[in-house]
Structure 1
Amino acid sequence: MLTYNMEDRQELSLYDYLYRCIKNDILSGRIPVGEKLPSKRGLAKHLDVSVVTVENAYAQLLLEGYITSFEKKGYFVNDIGSAPSASCLIKPKPEEEFEYAYFADLKSNRIRRNRFPFSTWAKLLRDTLSERPEQLLKTVPYNGVYELRLALASFLHEFRGMQVLPAQIIICSGTESMYGRLFSLLPEAVWAVENVGSRKITGLYDMYHARWKSVSRDEYGVDMKDLHDSGCNVVHVTPAQHFPIGTVMPVKRRTELLEWADAQNHYIIEDDYDSEFWYQGRQAPTLYSMDGNGRVIYFNTFSKTLIPSLRISYMVLPYELAMRYGNGLSFYSGTVPSMEQYALAKFISEGYFERHINHLRNYFKSQRSMLMDAVRKSPLMGISRIHEISSGTYFLLELDTPLSDTELVERIKKKDINVACTSAYMPEPHEDTHTLVINYCGVYAERIEETIARIWEAVSVK
């Protein structure tokens, strides 16, 4: 006889609880296929419920196909084939997502939240709500709100020397979104990417099933012979600062790259990520500003300069490509809420963004100086060499050690410090570089000396 504690039903009705209990027993196999269920009166008496309760439970099971009724014979369990186990039917309350907080995270390039101007941003959002109630209810334009594109065009002209029309700018919600649009705009493209660097771009290529090839790089940037031989017609480069090597592409290589694109009507994607954080001398001009034939597609994002959760990025298309985009892909919906776009437009046009960048640049310079000073004062300096990077939020620390890169990272991680070697961004197989990428974006100033002391404890081999 089927036995259930009907007092455990909580808010469920008696028949609903009984139906669920029998169904779970059928799905789990506790009531096997072909088994005859107790009579309605017999089960009602056994569970001390009304016959109507059992009738309604059986009726629901019959309706859903879990059981079959044979006149004058009773109810029998059907063969329902593969089905989810009973444990899958009632899902436990999901645990809150948890991101482990290291004592020092030298791998993450996310800015600490207290560096974001929340009060200013909140004010601009309130202003947008009061000033643009009607615009906020309209569909977001496929290329982004005009006010933000106009503010970006002015900013790029003033700070990066780029002549850009608002119509050439497409507002997107991250690199994934920008590439998704480009894959539609250039469906026949074969994409090239340097074999040293972040794996995010190649991951996007694979996700979209794009045709791509990895090309080698030399000390000046992408290897031009390898690029010519690859058969690719679009290449992704980071001329302002290559991660993680930190080199700036010299003008000769930039010219060669533009000539490659001009000669064969190819395209260059210039990823200008982190270019706002330049510390030494005058920043080199963008490839876009050197391009006279409409071959460069410019990428940038606000994930580092503001906060990652804002999810606003943008690309600048050559004019001819922008017109093709408008004619063929304007059916795309805008992926960034208009309120955030209007607020960001004011943030840029009213000078808040420039002041924020200056503040961050000074903060990062201070962080870098404190970390380098801590290394120089530590015994660690006796086995290491600092390689400064002219921009971005990291420097390289080359160690004279017999430890492999894997051993280095594991030993340092045991000291509750997250870090990576430059070899993590190189293709397999590769030699150990014994060089740590020290990202100071989110390190607590009061923990810097202890962080370096822990690294020394981890890497010193006795």
Structure 2
Amino acid sequence: MVKREEGALLQSIVLDREGEHGLSVQICAGLRELILGGTLKVGERLPATRTLAQEFKVARTTIVESFERLAAEGLIETRVGSGTYVSQALANERPAPAATATAAPTARVKLAQAMNTASKLFGTRLPHQPRAFTTAMPAFDAFPMAQWARLSGKHWRKPRHQVLGYPDPHGERGLRQAIAAHLRLNRGIACEWQQVFVVAGAQQAFQLIAATLLDPGDTVWFEDPGAIGARNSMIQSGVEIVPVPVDEAGLVVEEGLRRAPEFRLAFVTPAHQQPLGAKMSLERRLALLEAAEASGAWIIEDDWDGEFCFQGAPMATLTSIDRSGRVIYVGTFSKTLFPSLRLGFLVAPPHLVEQIGICLEAFSPGVPTALQGIVADFIVEGHFATHVRRMRKLYQERYQALEDAAREHLASDLEVVPTQTGMHTIAYLRGGLDAVALTQAAARRGVTVAPISRFCLEPVARDGLVLGFSGFTPAEIKTGVLDLRRAIDDLMAGGEWTGASAGMALSGKPNSA
């Protein structure tokens, strides 16, 4: 068994070898200050005398002498066969730390002009507690941990220079090839692996695209309601966000042209609109491509959960019908696998490959190599396709559980909108129920819901709730529905049935409830 050298690094203790006091005295004083100041906690193990002697480049007897002084003062204690620890006696006797000499700043921190302006418009990100009905929560209980663990072990046994060195900022070739093959077969995107760039999540992809293509003041069409995280990335770049309404056929292109005919970029979620769930019709897709070509604009296609189509094949991507090279496709493994992976990718049109590559080389540290290798093998060995098929079936079952429970317990107050794709649906309110008040009442009952108005830049015509179902078993979903029923009853009993939520003004922040 390998012996562990435990204990904190104590490099804040600086020795003056020409000083007035001996080295053991200086070490003792430094340790005393760390202990009494609370930096070294009660019960924390100190490094072994031999380890400290090597680190301070002193004789071991010097460290022993320092420890003996501290033990005599009752600050440390030695446990035979275990080591030396900060004394437990200090738990109740440690002096209160002295007040810091640095006064709290009296003025607000001065931000960069762009960030100061943007921060006033940022929408707050949704909470991600694993409870009904949190959105974008994969089915952790159904993830194939055994295969993942096997692949992880395989890659960590590779030569150290392969897994510990700096990753390729563009992404590892094996993963880029695996993604390209998957997209060709399953999403109809005719791309070469050189067009695929691996990034640390879709959010980094949006920031990268903005940094590469947008100047402050450029006009960007954005779905309204729309994805908060992506919108924050656009706002941060200093562009002018133009909210474009969404209906059952997706982004209303005619309205976008009326509001801003000369736009630089459009952001859309055509496979499963975030949050309303609409699928963009072929007519709208063609109209958007035509508008982009006429304006010389780019389009970001965020295919965040389009893999999860319950019935039939997923709808063709916007990228697959783009003939002018205007669409930049963004995908993420946070939804198809798990969020802590922080792994996404983008597919650049051929004439953008060089520019995107230069930007990544300049600013991106890359994604851990072993992680990319694990995902690549997960795809190549067929586990990814199997997992997606299983999740499609599972999410359909969980959506059905939500629909059945809502019909039984919530039909008088909520109209759950049917869906055939994705990880969430929406429920419109009936009878003047206030979405913001219900969100707060549900939280008190341990249920996470979000009002549609939270995703809006303009006042919402009809508010409702966004309900995630993918990450919860049918039993958990039914319990969540019953708790939501109780939350509604709480509002009725408290007289908080106050009418539809007004959403937010164009210049204000999204609802933060």
> TM-score w.r.t. structure 2 length?
0.67
Q: How does 1:399-438 map to 2 (within 5 A)?
A: 399-431=429-461, 433=463, 435-438=464-467
Between Structure 1 and Structure 2, how many residues are aligned?
A: 378
- Closer/same/farther in 2, CA of residues 413 and 17 from structure 1, 3 Å limit: closer
Instruction: Tell me the distance in 2 between the aligned counterparts of 1:126 and 1:217.
Output: 46
Amino acid at match of 1:339: A
CA distance 1:152–1:401, shift in 2 (3 Å) = same
Tell me whether 1:177 sits opposite 2:196 in the alignment: no
In structure 2, give the amino acid aligned to 1:144.
G
CA–CA separation in structure 1 for the residues paired with 2:129 and 2:163: 40
Quick check: 2:263–2:295 contact (8 Å CA) kept in 1?
A: no
Match of 2:346 in 1: 315
Local SS of the residue matching 2:197: strand
Residue 90 of structure 2: aligned partner: none
Distance 1:394 1:184, change over 3 A: closer
The CA deviation at 1:425 is 1.8
Work out whether residues 288 and 298 of structure 1, in 8 Å CA contact, stay in contact via their aligned partners in 2: yes
Distance in 2 of aligned mates of 1:174 and 1:14: 44
**Offset of residue 112 of structure 1:** 4.3
Match for 1:320: what amino acid?
H
Task: Name the aligned partner's letter for residue 397 of structure 1.
Answer: A
1:327 & 1:405 partners in 2: Cα distance? 45
Give the direction of change, closer, same or farther, for the CA distance of 1:246–1:180 in structure 2 (3 Å limit): closer
The answer to which of 145-154 and 224-233 deviates more is: 224-233
User: Partner letter of residue 371 of structure 1?
Assistant: L
Distance 1:334 1:155, change over 3 A: farther
Partner in structure 1 of residue 120 of structure 2: none
Contact map agreement 2:399 2:469 (CA 8 A) in 1: yes
Contact 1:197–1:243 at 8 Å: present in 2 too? yes
* 2:297 pairs with 1:266: yes
1:153 partnered with 2:180: yes
Aligned to 1:214: 243
Q: Residues of 1 paired with 2:194 and 2:297: CA distance?
A: 22
Indicate conservation of the 8 Å contact 1:347/1:353, yes or no.
Answer: yes
Code of the aligned partner of 1:179: F
Residue number in structure 2 paired with 1:13: 29
SS of match in other structure, 1:410:
helix
Structure 2 Cα separation of the partners of residues 205 and 348 of structure 1: 31
* Pair 1:184–1:381, CA change in 2 (3 A): closer
1:193 Cα deviation (Å)? Answer: 1.2
2:102 matched residue in structure 1: 84
Instruction: Determine whether 1:275 maps to 2:275.
Output: no
- Structure 1 residues not aligned, in runs of 5+: 1-10, 22-81, 87-98
| Structure 1: distance between partners of 2:190 and 2:440 | 48
Q: What is the TM-score of this pair, normalised by structure 1?
A: 0.74
| RMSD (Å) for aligned C-alpha atoms | 3.0
CA distance in 2, matches of 1:105, 1:385: 18
Match of 1:74 in 2: none
CA–CA distance in structure 1, aligned partners of residues 382 and 128 of structure 2: 34
8 Å contact 2:211–2:237 — kept in the other structure? no
Distance 2:191 2:128 in 1: 42
For 1:344 and 1:102, the matched residues in 2 are separated by 25
Q: Which residue of 2 aligns with 1:198?
A: 227
SS in 2 for 1:216: strand
Contact 1:274 1:304 in 2 (8 A): yes
CA contact (8 A) 2:227 2:274 kept: yes
Within 5 A, what are the aligned runs for 1:98-247?
A: 104-131=131-158, 133-188=160-215, 189-228=218-257, 229-230=259-260, 231-247=262-278
Deviations 1:73-102 (A, max 9, x none): xxxxxxxxx95159xxxxxxxxxxxx9997
The match for 1:398 among 422, 425, 428 is 428
1:221/1:16 CA distance change after superposition, 3 Å: same
Which is greater in Rg? 1
- Give the 3-state SS of the residue equivalent to 2:334 in structure 1: coil
- Unmatched 5+ stretches in structure 2: 1-26, 38-99, 105-125, 494-513
User: AA paired with 2:445?
Assistant: K
Aligned to 2:61: none
Structure 1 residue 134: deviation in Å? 4.0
Deviations 1:436-461 (A, max 9, x none): 22211222433333322222232244
Other structure's SS at 1:381 match = coil
Distance 2:317 2:461 in 1: 33
CA distance in 2, matches of 1:187, 1:410: 38
Cα deviation, 1:172-222, whole Å, max 9, x if unaligned, reads 001232123223321435432122122212212233334433333344222
Partner Cα separation in structure 2 for residue 288 and residue 105 of structure 1: 34
